[in-house]
Amino acid sequence: MSLRGGRGTAAAPLSILLLLGACAAPVPPPAPPLPYPPSAKARMLRIALAEWAEWGGMTVAPGDGGRTTGAEGAPENFPRVLAYWRAVPEDEGAIALNRRLYAAALAGQAEGAALWHEPAWSAAFISFVLRGAGVDAREFPPSAAHSRYVDALIADAAAFPASAPFLPHAPEAYAPQPGDLICADRSPRPLRHWQERAADAGAFRPMHCDIVVATVPGAVEAIGGNVRDAVTRTRFAADAVGRLLPVPAGAPIFFAIFENRLGRLGPWRPTS
């Protein structure tokens, strides 16, 4: 018995070492991102514009002091925001909470007025647009938090600069184009440049991103969700070459513009 016991005692550490060795195996690098045809960007813009139109087609300027529309709390808009939350893998409890508030609104109860107030759904909206455009989670990971997909896009650009579908730029150095994402930091001490995100990559940081849909002389127009509690088009001031100008005091500060290269890589790469 003692010998058998001794063999059992010796075998246990060996199995643990084997397990630890397996756990220490190197993680394979991510596969390179795939290219997409021009139709993906075109669908992305069509979806953003269609959603904006369905919410009433409101256009605002940053920091102009306008009040909330209250549109998200209208029961008829319940399925719209629900569709955005269904586009992300984690909903932060939003669906269960707001199904209850929707039922309360339909019953005329006071708590129904808080429909879709929490949590914020702007990142879910962006994810809904990209998923609807047919961009897979490998190239754009849908998330309830802007900071999560921002980190993924920055990491992809660093690892695969020739094939990443989105490339980060400093706002003062790049003129955004339709399909690009313009991202602001809503923190008390906001980031001023996308490279600063490396210091706290992976940590939550309140952000907001909009999808550029048009550029006109002196302005960049972009659509985002949960702006004035609706899907809203914002007209941002731009300089003579189309670069974003500083936003008014109190408005979130842009720290990154993600150049959209959907339809411009692989076999669809421009020849001139």
Q: Which amino acid does the sequence have at 187? A: S
Domain residue ranges in the chain = 35-268
Burial label, 83 (beta-carbon count in 10 A; 0-12, 13-18, 19+): middle
pLDDT tens per residue, range 29-54: 788 999 999 999 999 999 999 999 99
pLDDT tens per residue, range 106-149: 999 999 999 999 999 999 999 999 999 999 999 999 999 999 99
Distance CA 146, CA 209 (A): 7
Distance CA 249, CA 63 (A): 7
Q: Give the HSE-up count for residue 50: Cα atoms under 13 Å, Cβ half-sphere.
A: 11
Q: At what angle do helices 122-132 and 38-54 cross, to 10 degrees?
A: 130
Q: Is residue 168 within 8 Å of 154, Cβ to Cβ?
A: yes
10-residue mean pLDDT profile of the chain (272 residues): values are 40 54 67 96 98 96 76 97 97 96 97 95 98 98 96 96 97 97 90 87 90 97 96 96 90 94 93 62
* 68 closest CA partner among 55, 79, 81: 55
Predicted structure pTM score? 0.88
